[in-house]
Amino acid sequence: MPILLHGTTMLRAKRIEANGPDANFVEPGDGTRAEEFSTCLDAGPFHLGTPEQYARRKAALFPNEGGPAILAVDVPDGVIALTVDEYFPLSQGVVQFDAGAGLEELRAVWSTLPKEIRQG
């Protein structure tokens, strides 16, 4: 199973690790639902930026959330395949979970997936 990475803050990484990606998550001061869950293959390529960059920038925006962190999770090929389309070919390293495009299936198996939090 490929390992997918998501750069964020430590607080959010722990929350996602425990409960799965939350499409209804609202960032403090924002007011808009997250709607989706963006990850990248641990092997890259990183055409949209590295998870470390996202983690550092997110931690800078939210300094009370425990610093940068990277959530790593092993996701079955069959679930990843649901995200692949003409916009997000796997060759570009991005695995984008949207409603109707893998997000529900990812949440359904989340509790069974091996995962860890790394320092960002």
Partner 1 sequence: MNTTSKLTEAFRAAIEHPTRGVVGIVDDLLRLCPEQGLRLDWQADDCLIHCRTGDSEEAIDLPIRKSVFRAILARIAVLCNEQRPNSVSPYGGEGELSQSANPLVQFQVSFTNTPAEQTLELTSKGDPNGEP
Residues interacting with partner 1, by CB under 8 A? Answer: 26-27, 30-36, 38, 46-49, 53-54, 57-58, 61, 86-89, 91-92, 94, 96, 98
Give the span between the Cα atoms of 73 and 120, in whole angstroms. Answer: 15
Tell me the closest approach of the beta carbon of residue 51 to partner 1, in angstroms: 11
Give the span between the Cα atoms of 28 and 88, in whole angstroms. Answer: 28
Residue number, 89 or 114, with CB nearest to partner 1? 89
Residue number, 55 or 72, with CB nearest to partner 1? 55
Residue number, 26 or 81, with CB nearest to partner 1? 26
Q: What is the CA radius of gyration of the chain?
A: 13
Phi first, then psi: give them for residue 79, nearest 5 degrees. -75, -40
